[in-house]
């Protein structure tokens, strides 16, 4: 299961990397990592809203905490996917996978991105409704 989740993560990078119009590998990787970081950020904020809703009180986040979290996610992704080369290697080998596995990974990656957006939207709505914030 962990291997499959790892491959879905790498597939997200490979898809964004492949569809980038930049010519430089560094820029393509940067854009792909930025999009992955955004999806991860949506998941974290969705979870944060859910925790606040279940606790029934507002927890504060400072701007510096938000920025540090985003930067930490970005640089962690940069290290794993670009500097260590796991994402670049997987992006180059993606076409060599069986067609059924590629389809499964792409569908799973899209589902994770859609689930992140849905989690964020619904948790934000619930957070505002239950805590009476308008």
pLDDT digits (tens, 9 = 90+) for 55-73: 888 888 889 999 999 999 9
Q: Say what the pLDDT of residue 80 is.
A: 95
Q: Count the domains in the chain.
A: 1
First vs last C-alpha separation in the chain: 41
pTM for this predicted structure: 0.85
- CA nearest to 37, candidates 1, 89, 80: 80
CB atoms within 10 A of CB 2: 6
Residues 10 and 86 sit within 8 Å (Cβ to Cβ):
yes
Q: Say what the pLDDT of residue 98 is.
A: 94
Using the structure block, give the residue that is written with the tokens 């059924």.
100
Q: Say what the pLDDT of residue 71 is.
A: 96
Q: Which residues of the chain have pLDDT under 50?
A: none
Q: Say what the pLDDT of residue 35 is.
A: 92
Q: Say what the pLDDT of residue 133 is.
A: 64
Q: Say what the pLDDT of residue 55 is.
A: 86
Residues 82 and 29 sit within 8 Å (Cβ to Cβ):
yes
- What is the residue range of 38's domain? 2-130
Q: Say what the pLDDT of residue 19 is.
A: 83
Q: Say what the pLDDT of residue 77 is.
A: 96
């Amino acid at each position: 299961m962990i291997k499959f989740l790892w491959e879905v993560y790498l597939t997200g990078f490979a898809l964004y990397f492949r569809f980038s119009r930049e010519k430089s590998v560094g820029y393509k990787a940067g854009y792909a990592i930025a999009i992955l970081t955004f999806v991860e950020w949506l998941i974290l904020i969705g979870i944060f809203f859910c925790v606040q809703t279940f606790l029934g009180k507002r927890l504060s986040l400072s701007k510096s905490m938000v920025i540090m979290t985003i930067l930490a996610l970005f640089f962690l992704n940069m290290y794993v996917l670009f500097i260590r080369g796991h994402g670049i290697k997987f992006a180059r080998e993606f076409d060599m996978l069986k067609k059924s596995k590629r389809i499964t990974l792409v569908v799973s990656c899209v589902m994770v991105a859609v689930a992140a957006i849905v989690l964020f939207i619904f948790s934000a709505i619930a957070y505002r409704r239950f805590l009476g914030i308008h």
